[in-house]
Structure 1
Amino acid sequence: MTAIERLWEDYDLPSRDSLHFADGRSFDVELDSDAPGGFRVLDAFDLDEMLKDDPSWTSSVDGRAVVDLGEKGLLWGGEGSYGSDGFAARLTADRALIWAIFFTESNPLNRIELSGNVATFYSTADITITVDIDDPRTPVS
């Protein structure tokens, strides 16, 4: 079991602007309204090392919006432990993590629109994040 899967068992995510895949890959991200999709995927990092340095650097997440993908799972967006946190995730049908993106300054993501395999998550601060639900690293405009 990867570090992100262990965190997800308690619906926790690292409190860092980051993208995580269930297989253990993690990337820094940054909000950028000029970038395709409203954010940039940056360098990979070692989540195990980050948690080793400070295991409490996590945030509980709670959903505020959901899109059911049937047997392909669901999309979930919501908030973290602090008012400025927001997250977007794709889960399996039994709510296991496929990928999750956490933002410390987006505000809660409270609405999701889906068109084909492209999802747009809207925050309470009028920030929009658009992703390819099969691979959120792929730029989408």
Structure 2
Amino acid sequence: MGTQEELTAIQRLWADYRLPILDALHFADGRSFEVEIDPDVPSGMRVQEQFDLEEVLAEDPDWTTRVDGLRTVPLGDGGVLWGGDGATGSNGFFARLHADLTLVWVIFFQVSNPFCDIRLSGTTAEFRSTSGVAITVDIDDPTRSGPA
């Protein structure tokens, strides 16, 4: 996976199963986007502005939470989709991981409740939380998960 210096901020956090406490989509390559739950759009989520996670963490390096998986769905490439919770009952996340459990991408919400149901159809997955929040994403690129 590379040395600590070569890793992106999200890869360094994920190595300890930690995520920033931000409603955001993070890619292993270092790209991060603000996201918002929006039941009025087909995907259930709006992808918004891109931001620099390194900058955010420089301002507040402890604004992170440990995450724990509750549901796993295997993918044909050996990787998995994983959904679960954060430190508080309102936190929820879901992610696509490589076979070695390193990150492809991850989405975290502060107020969604844990994501415990995953339904996969081709390259589209629906993640549903214990409070009924439903987010549908293209697992190859969650930024193109439907019209905003």
Band the TM-score falls in, shorter-chain normalisation: over 0.9
Pair 1:50-2:50 in alignment: no
Determine the structure 2 residue equivalent to 1:130.
136
1:67–1:76: 8 Å Cα contact kept in structure 2? yes
Task: With the length of structure 1 as denominator, give the TM-score of the two structures.
Answer: 0.97
Uncovered stretches (5+) of structure 1, i.e. residues with no partner: none
Deviation at residue 72 of structure 1 after TM alignment: 4.2
> Given residue 61 of structure 1, which amino acid in structure 2 is its aligned partner?
V
Give the share of equivalent positions with the same residue, in percent: 58
TM-score, normalised to structure 2's length?
A: 0.93
Partner of 1:7: 13
What is the SS of the residue equivalent to 2:11?
Answer: helix
* TM superposition shift of 1:140: 3.3
Q: Give the total of aligned pairs.
A: 141
Cα distance in structure 2, aligned partners of 1:122 and 1:95 = 21
Match of 1:107 among 80, 97, 113: 113
SS at match of 1:37: coil
1:82 pairs, out of 88, 93, 113, with 88
- Distance, in Å, in 2 between the alignment partners of 1:14 and 1:45 is 13
RMSD: 1.0
Q: Which runs of 5+ in 2 are unaligned?
A: 1-6
Whether the aligned pair in 2 keeps the contact of 1:70 and 1:93 (CA below 8 Å) is no
The residue aligned with 1:64 is: 70
What is the rounded CA distance, in whole Å, between the counterparts of 2:29 and 2:138 in structure 1?
A: 18
- Counterpart position of 1:20: 26
State the 4+ residue runs in structure 1 displaced beyond 3 angstroms: none
